[in-house]
Amino acid sequence: MVHNWKRLGLGVLLAFGYAIATATKCAAQSITLDGTLGPARTLSGPNYTIRQADGLPVGNNLFQSFGRFNLNANESANFQSTANIRNILSRVTGGSTSFIDGRIFTQSRNVNLFFINPNGIIFGPNASLNVGSATRGSFIATTANALFWANGSQFSATNPGNATSLLTIVGDPSGFLSTLTPPPINVSGSTLANRSSFFSNPYNGQSLLLVGGDVKVDNATLQAPGGRIELGGLAEPGTIGLTTNGNILSLNFPENLARASVSLTNGSNVSVASGGGGSIAVNASDIDILGGSNLRAGIRPLAGTDNAQAGDVNLNATGTLRIENSSVYNVAFGRGNGGNLRVDTGKLIITDGVLTTATLSQGRAGDVIVNASDSMELTNSLTSNDRVPIVIPVELFDSSSAFTINVPIGLFSASIDARNLPNLSAFLPIAGGDAGNLTINTGRLIVSNGAVVSAGTTTAGRAGNLSVNAKDFIELSGTSANDAPSGFEFLSEADIVTSGLRNGTSGSGSGGNLTIETGRLIVRDGAVVGTSTSGRSSAGILTVNAKESVELSGTSANGFPSLLASATRGAGNANSLTINTKRLRVSDGAIISAAAATGSGQGGELTINATEFVELIGTSTKRLSASVFQRVLGVPAAVVFGEDLLPSGVIAGTLSEGDARNLTINTGRLLIKDGAQASVSTVGSGNAGSLNVRADSVELTGTSQQSPNPNDIVGRSLLTTAVGEDSTGSGGNITVQTGLLTISDGAALTASTSGQGNAGSIKVPQANLVSVSDNGLISTAVNAQAQGQGGSIDINTNTLSVNQGGQITASTLGNGNAGTVKINARDASLDGVGTNGFSSGVFTSTGSQANGSGGAIAFQTNSFTLSNGAVVNAQTSNSQKGGNVTIEANTVDIKNGGQVITTTRSSGNAGDINLKVADGITISGSDRTFAERIAQFGDDIVTNQGADSGLFANTSRNSIAQGGNLIINTPSLQVKDGGIISVSSPQGQAGNLDITANTIRLNQGSLTAETAITGTTEGANIRLQDVDLLLMQNNSRISAQANGTARGGNITINAQKGFVIAPFGEDSDIIASASRGRGGNITINTQELFGFFEGRAIRGNGTNDIDASSEFNNPGTVDINTLDIDPRRGLLELPASVVEVSRLVASNCGAIAGKNGSSFTYTGRGGLPDSPDDPLTSDVVWSDTRLTNIRSLENISTSTSKPHKQTASGIAIVPATGWVFNNLGEVTLIASQSETANRIDTPTTCQSETEH
């Protein structure tokens, strides 16, 4: 293939060289008349006069026919005609190419000159035109065979015919006929300026048409100010239509014929700019605009009127349109409206080039419309060493008075403030016009290395709308050598060379909308898609509809993020940003943002609708300065990212007086991973918006590799709202509507304030599972130096699982109250500790320098499990009260070091604990990792109250504050294996412990109260209410202890219908003791009390003691109220020998006859106390119903008779000799088993008696 192209290129060069050689050879006979319309002759030069008499005038047409037509340098050809002639139609029939290196002009006004040579036309470097005698005529050069008219008449160069065939021709020609493939037209180094004046007002333009074959313009200039320039041709036989509209002629190309190519190279210029009008059309298979060439239309400086209208530029290439280091533009520098720019092609490639419309005046810029059915590629290949700006030349009077303005590489429409152009500002009107709209329709769009697609305004005019429809995909990548990003932008400042960093409207005009329709949108390596305002008006709406996916990734070499954004830096508002797609992925430092950076404008609403998933992954591998981050995105990096840390993410924020708007994510699955973020924040006086997530599942996991501190929020994967330092606005609320929420591996869901505003709240309204694990975090916080209130956390879920160091926290370190935590779950499980030493759990806290109260914690659940060092902790470390903890559940299981805590480390009182449990509470075991954790991390990290499981409403050892109350209401309470329920304040006054339970079982379990102060309100009291059974086993304790001079707490046990029991020898005690104060009172109201002695409780003495002593003061009282038992009477002594039961039960016949039989008499408890395991009943009458089967003994004789053997006919009766308990606890009488146990014989002695 390479060799074929080389051969083709060589053939083109040889053919071009042959044409030049032939033309040069023919120059000796430069112009000849062929004799078809008059006598054949050779005209004399060098200044040739072509008289009307040399041709054939027919009506307003003058026909001329040449054998050869060539002009050397410094030669001229003057076509003469009378005033009535409208068209001079000339042909070359001799079969040779015309080489024109001189001047062609007409003498008459308003005359059009047609030049036909089917063998080719070459315009040399000295060629020039002046058609219409410096007025308004048009020049048409063509390599077609003939012109044709509507009536079928032809003026042919290949079949001249005779003159009489032309006599029927009337009016203007209708088109061009090619019976063979037309040869090329070459314009090399020429200046074909078909013009009257650059500044004609009103404009009266002319046309310059080159109709091939191929049309090649090399280092040449084509000018028709206010007129029309049209280039094109056919690559096969066919016709091209011609339309005449006044002085303007235009071509009509058929759709079904192959077209030839058109090229502009080596600094060529095609210009129609004037005081108005002026249009350019190019129709070809391929169009190449290369090497610094320009197509220029519009209104020149110092020209135009308020109503002036520039013409359009239309480029139609069935194959490829290529623009390299060149420009196509339609700009209104003067007064009036700019024209449109339209491209229709299969493939558009812009490399280091520009395609633009703009206005620098009060008029409106034209629209840009690009239809590239296959693909569109825009790229910047210039490096920092060889960078040459793309410039738009601006001619004030002529080419000697030209200025230039720099423009970005790419495609745009703009309204530019000329006051920022020092070389031009004196010559341009005050700007204020609207930018034009820009529309792109293509299959694939590729924009790279700093190229730009843009519409915008820097004036009072409105920015245009930008619409891009790319069926397959849009790919934007990279930045230029000066780090200006590729992408879609709305220009914001006059220095538009670096416009990739600025977008939108910087004047008072409103921003334009940006709409993208595509299959896939790819933005990478620092490219930008965005709308913005730095003026007084709002930015435009940004909408992305990507059928398959939106993918943003990476940063530029200098750390600038790939960006999809709507922003404001002025008084105007940012506008909404909406993404509709199946899949959205943002990674490696890329950002989606709707922000208010500076000024008083509001941020934009950011909405993401992704039916399958949204994935936010990772951070950038490069660092970006915080100042650049703030300027570009509107959020200081330090707010949620840490200095110079750039995460991937979705951001809605404000640094200004204006409010940030909401961030809404609707998707099937949301994944935030490895330090990425979705955030809403305020750093100014404006309020942050809300963050709303609706997804089937939400997963937050991991931290960035650059995370500086695993215990800090910086570097975590985040779903967050924040109020920054020095901010006075309020933080936004977070609502996560999902079935599955998982937060793991250091990730966090947070709402915080570091300024003067309140933090937002977090709500999970209806989930199946909420899982927080492996140092994951759900948190609301008032940070240090902040003045606002903390936000609440409200979670509703079927299952809550917090494990491996996962935490749910609400804290304050500043001058505001901490938020509350409310959890409603069918099943709640908190388990284990993290690798950083933190317990899994739910926490509210106040810092030591804070001036706010702690928040409450509330659980409503069916099953509540707290295990393996996990904690529910409401703590205060300042002078304010700590929060309360409330748990409402059916079952509560606290084991292996799980703890519920309210505590204070300072002068603030601890909060209360309240448990309402419908079925039962079990507290058991201890945390085996506690000692190791406390040694490694210290008590600032490890806040557990020792290793044992329990409920603790207490204060720290050094706090003089009051401990909280602990209230329990449940049918069943078990505290075992080291479990503890405690209220304490070792240096202050403890709260009270109140338990209402039917059954309380302590098995190596403790209920304790400890206090150092007896205040006006009693503390450290233990009250057990409505008890049916209190069972204390294995060194269990109920203890109310007073330190110092405090009075011992009181213990009250109300079990009027139940029992208080302690098995002997297990060292379980009930203690209300004091040190130097009076001992507490112990009151026990019960039906029966078993196993206790009143006396000093000494650990390890093996007795169950009731102790109300004081070490150095008076003891308290012990008051035991039972129905008929006084444990102070002691126990009855039992005989040492055991009664033989068989001696108590008669087994002879007399027992049956009622003589000397056994009997049972109930006399009370006797000396043998009931076992706690025995059934307890009221009075029972026992009868042996088997006796009802024996006949009456009333008339039995007592006389003796000889015994004889007789077989019994009734039911055998065996007297009871003992009893047993069955598995139901029931008593059954039995007969002792013996060798005669199965006999049914009646003793003979009994028989003799019965016979009588």
Main-chain phi, psi angles of 1149, to 5 degrees:
-70, -25
- 198 Cβ contact list (under 8 Å, min separation 6): 225, 273, 274, 275, 300, 303, 395, 397, 398
Model confidence pLDDT, tens digit, residues 113-160: 999 999 999 999 999 887 765 556 889 999 999 999 999 999 999 999
What is the total count of domains within the chain? Answer: 1
Strand order in the sheet with 238-245: 154-156, 146-148, 175-178, 238-245, 248-252
Question: Is residue 271 assigned to a domain?
Answer: no
Which of 798 and 327 is assigned the larger pLDDT? 798
pLDDT of res. 146: 95
Residue 1225 placed within a domain:
yes
pLDDT at position 1026: 94
Q: Please report the sign of the dihedral spanned by the C-alpha atoms of residue 1191, residue 1197, residue 1198, residue 1201.
A: negative
Residue-wise pLDDT tens digits, 600-651: 666 778 999 999 999 999 988 666 555 555 555 544 443 444 445 678 889 8
The most confident of the ranges 172-181, 617-626, 1151-1160, 1167-1176 is 172-181
DSSP state for residue 352 in the 8-state scheme? S
Per-residue b/e over 349-372, b at no fewer than 16 CB within 10 Å?
A: bbbbbbbbbbbbbbbbbbbbbbbb
Q: Which domain holds residue 1234?
A: 1131-1252
How far is the CA of 832 from the CAs of 594, 717, 1005, in angstroms? Answer: 40, 22, 22
Q: Is the pLDDT of residue 404 over 80?
A: no
429 lies in some domain? no
Give the pLDDT of residue 461: 67
Separation CA 308–CA 290 (nearest Å): 31
The residues near 103 (Cβ < 8 Å, ≥ 6 apart) are 71, 75, 76, 77, 127, 128, 129, 130
Q: How far apart are CA 1243 and CA 103, in angstroms?
A: 163
Sorting pLDDT into bands at 50, 70 and 90, what band is 563? confident
Q: Which residue has the higher pLDDT, 390 or 99?
A: 99
**pLDDT of res. 411:** 63
Cβ atoms of residues 148 and 83 within 8 Å: no
The continuous run of DSSP H or E covering 1248 comes out as helix 1244-1251
Residue 742 covered by a domain: no
Segment holding 23, helix H or strand E: helix 2-26
In a domain, 642, yes or no: no
Q: Which of 578, 614, 582, 613 is nearest to 594 (CA)?
A: 578
Per the model's pLDDT, the better-predicted residue between 590 and 425 turns out to be 590
Mean pLDDT for all residues in the chain: 79
Is residue 764 in a domain?
no
Q: Which residues of 584-593 are buried (b: 16+ CB within 10 A; e: fewer)?
A: bbbbbbbbbb
Whether residue 1137 is contained in a domain is answered as yes
Mean per-residue pLDDT, 688-692? 87
Q: For residue 1094, how far is the Cα from the chain centroid?
A: 69
- Average pLDDT for residues 1025-1049, to the nearest whole number? 89
Helix (H) or strand (E) holding 969: strand 966-969
Provide the whole-model pTM. Answer: 0.80
In this structure, is residue 1147 part of a structural domain?
Answer: yes
More confident call, 700 vs 689: 700
The Cα 1054–Cα 1064 span in angstroms is: 22
CA 231 – CA 1247 distance, rounded (Å): 147
Distance from CA of residue 43 to its chain's centroid? 80
Name which residue leads in pLDDT, 531 or 283.
283
Contact 681, 729 (CB under 8 A): no
Q: Which residues contact 977 (CB under 8 A, 6 or more apart)?
A: 924, 925, 926, 949, 1003, 1004, 1005
Say which residue the tokens 């956390």 belong to: 793
Confidence of residue 815 (pLDDT cuts 50, 70, 90): confident
Among 139-153, 218-232, 639-653, 875-889, the range scoring the smallest mean pLDDT is: 639-653
Side chain identity at 718, as an amino acid letter?
A: L
Q: Which residue has the higher pLDDT, 652 or 215?
A: 215
Task: Kindly tell me if the per-residue pLDDT of 1178 is higher than 50.
Answer: no
Comparing CA positions, the residue from 172, 112, 103, 115 lying closest to residue 136 is 112
For the record, the structure tokens of 1233 come out as: 């088993």
714 or 1202, greater pLDDT: 714
Percent of the chain with pLDDT strictly greater than 90: 41
pLDDT value of position 1: 37
Give the 3-state secondary structure of 668-690: EEEEEECCCEEEEEECCCCCCCC
pLDDT at 692 > cutoff 60: yes
What pLDDT is attached to residue 1183? Answer: 43
pLDDT digits over 467-508, tens only? 889 899 988 887 765 555 655 544 333 332 222 323 455 656
What confidence score (pLDDT) does residue 126 get? 92
Cα distance between residue 677 and residue 988, in whole Å: 45
Written as six digits, the tokens of 645 are: 């840390």
Tell the residue number behind the tokens 């435009």, with chain if given. 540
Task: Count, in order, helices (H) and strands (E) of the chain.
Answer: 7, 84
Q: What is the predicted pLDDT for the residue at 644? A: 53
- Check residue 286 and give its pLDDT: 97
H-helix or E-strand spanning residue 1149: helix 1149-1153
